[in-house]
Amino acid sequence: MGIAELQAYGYFVLTFFLVVALYGYIYHLYTKKRDASGVDYESYSNMALKDDIDDTPVSALSDEKVPVEGKKK
């Protein structure tokens, strides 16, 4: 088997893998309204809609990092 043939098989396997991964991702997104960690993807729109600095984050990175009024970090 020459290098060209190997490349062709490799290319096919890669494409196949990516297609499976993409469809798997679609399945994952649409079958579970909430994923394992309890996240509803549609609520993520609020990251833009409620984006003032003192708005509550959709999912805060950590509790103590929420800015306190009148205090710089």
Partner 1 sequence: MENRPLEYDYTIAKMFMLTTIAFGIVGMLIGVILAFQLAFPGLNLMLGDGLAEYTNFSRLRPLHTDAVIFGFTLSGVFATWYYVGQRVLKVSMAESKLLMTLGKLHFWLYLAVVVAVIVSLFAGVTTSKEYAEFEWPIDIAVVVVWVLFGMGIFGLIGIRREKSLYISVWYYIATFLGIAMLYLFNNMEIPTFFATSPSGESGIGAWYHSVSMYAGTNDALVQWWYGHNAVAFGFTVPIVAMIYYFLPKESGQAIYSYKLSLLSFWGLMFVYLWAGGHHLLYSTVPDWMQTMGSIFSVILILPSWGSAINMLLTMKGEWQQVAASPLIKFMVLGSTFYMFSTLEGPIQAIKSVNAIAHFTDWIVGHVHDGVLGWVGFMIMAALYHMAPRVFKREIYSKSLMAAQFWIQTLGVVLYFTSMWIAGITQGMMWRAHDEFGNLAYSFIDTVTVLHPYYAIRGVGGLLYLVGFLMFAYNIYKTMSSRPVEERELQNASPMGA
List interacting residues with partner 1 (CB under 8 A). 18, 22, 25-26, 29-30, 39, 41-42, 44-49, 51-55, 57-61, 65-67, 69-73
- 13 or 26, CB closer to partner 1? 26
CB-CB contact of 53 with 69 (8 Å)? no
CB-CB contact of 66 with 57 (8 Å)? yes
Residue with tokens 């060209």: 4
Least CB distance from residue 25 to partner 1, whole Å? Answer: 7
Q: What are phi and psi of 69, to 5 degrees?
A: -55, 130
- 1 or 46, CB closer to partner 1? 46
